[in-house]
Homo-oligomer: A and B are copies of this chain.
Amino acid sequence: MRVYNFSAGPAMLPLAALEQARAELTDWQGSGMSVMEVSHRGKAFVACAAETEALLRELLGVPSNYKVLFLQGGATTQFSAIPWNLSAAGASINVLHTGQWSAKAIKAARQQDLTVDVIADEAATGYSTTPAADGFRVDPTAAYLHYTPNETIGGVEFGYVPESGDVPLVADMSSTILSRPIDVSKFGLIYAGAQKNMGPSGLCVVIVRDDLVGRARPGTPGPLDYAAMAESDSMLNTPPTFGVYLLGLILAWVKESGGLTAMGERNRAKAELLYRAIDTSEYYRNPVALDSRSWMNVPFIGARPELDKTFVSEAAEAGLTNLAGHRSVGGMRASIYNAMPIEGVQALIDFMTDFARRNA
């Protein structure tokens, strides 16, 4: 029995990928070994990692002047690694501040020898908005502009890619990567923890333009130095092999499902269905500005907050799990990443309707 799992991450994964992993968990490719048991430097795993990278490049349309790195430590470790790699000591960076994840990126950057200029801050709306596309000015001398395309806690998402001129654009795509087509060439660096749309936690993907590689500050640890990792095909040290393998299976599922165009259409349809149900309900409410609503994370509030826990537990009993809002904001939240089918969203709406009818 599988459930519809609305967890914000680690999150629901495509069943086809999990079933393939299960089928070969003790005997991968007829080797008599699990993929977890083979040397990362052996031919079989090197080929697996290369195929995974090739498929990621194909699906995302990664230009040839970008490196794809398979790292560890999550996006949180990148909050420190990015300034080390992309900015000289004493440099300035620009940041768009849209919620709890951008706040963490700002805090980590400020621990380094760096000036962090927050050129847009959505505090006035309680971080329920994204800045207007022409609502900030990027300092042309900044080392880079950092932003968070989607805030998983606030459920706030940019409807556009910020224009940064010649300043490299850096994006934490942990919660949106692979959810729709993107133009990678607009970015200097894209990074993403795997545990939403790409696989298990413990793998972090970095896509970085060649001219930004090789500038790490002295003392940057090898596993966090993009040049050292690029030169070693992400095998300066032992990579998280099971995560890379499972990413490959998930990418194959994305491709079979029609690639990122189809994925984007599905995700748009799922989000529209859920927001329409919320907006037309008298019981539920989504707090985010219309033009900044996330396709991936949909927070909502019930008219009777004292029933939120009941909602979450009754939903779980009905096979709709992990619907509690983030512990810092409460309420409910439905995360509807790639692996969530529209049937799951419809089942949630049916439950929400019934719950509202019973409790309004």
Q: Which A residues are within 8 Å of any B CB, using their own CB?
A: 1-3, 5, 7-13, 15, 18-19, 21-22, 25-27, 30-34, 36-42, 72-77, 79-81, 108, 111-113, 193, 195, 199-203, 218-219, 221-224, 236-243, 246, 319, 321-322, 327
Asked if A80 contacts B39 (CB within 8 A), the reply is no
In the complex the two chains form, is A223's CB within 8 Å of B3's CB? no
Give chain B residues whose Cβ lies under 8 Å from the Cβ of A79. Answer: 221
A165 → chain B, closest Cβ, in Å?
A: 29
CB <8 Å contact, B32 and A238: no
Residues of B contacting A40 in the complex (Cβ-Cβ under 8 angstroms) = 10, 201
A185 to chain B, nearest CB (A): 29
A319–B200 Cα gap in the complex (Å)? 31
**B321 pairs with A31, CB closer than 8 A:** yes
Inter-chain contact A7/B108, CB cutoff 8 Å: no
Q: In the A-B complex, list the 4 residue pairs whose CB atoms are closest, starting with the nearest.
A: A202-B240, A3-B32, A76-B237, A80-B221
Knowing A39-B8, A74-B237, A202-B241, the reply to whether A25 touches B21 (Cβ < 8 A) is yes
Q: By the criterion CB–CB under 8 Å, are A73 and B76 in contact?
A: no
Give the one of A3, A8, A199, A202 with max B CB within 10 A. A202
- A320 shortest CB reach to chain B, Å: 10
Given contacts A25-B25, A73-B72, A74-B223, contact A1 B237 (CB under 8 A): no
List, in ascending order, chain B residues with CB within 8 A of A203's CB: 202
C-alpha spacing A42/B18, complex, angstroms: 21
Are B77 and A223 in contact, CB atoms less than 8 angstroms apart? yes
Collect the chain B residues with CB atoms within 8 Å of residue A239's CB.
201-202
* A8 contact set on B, CB distance < 8 A: 39
Checking B12, B34, B195 against A238 with a beta-carbon cut-off of 8 angstroms, the contacting residue is B195
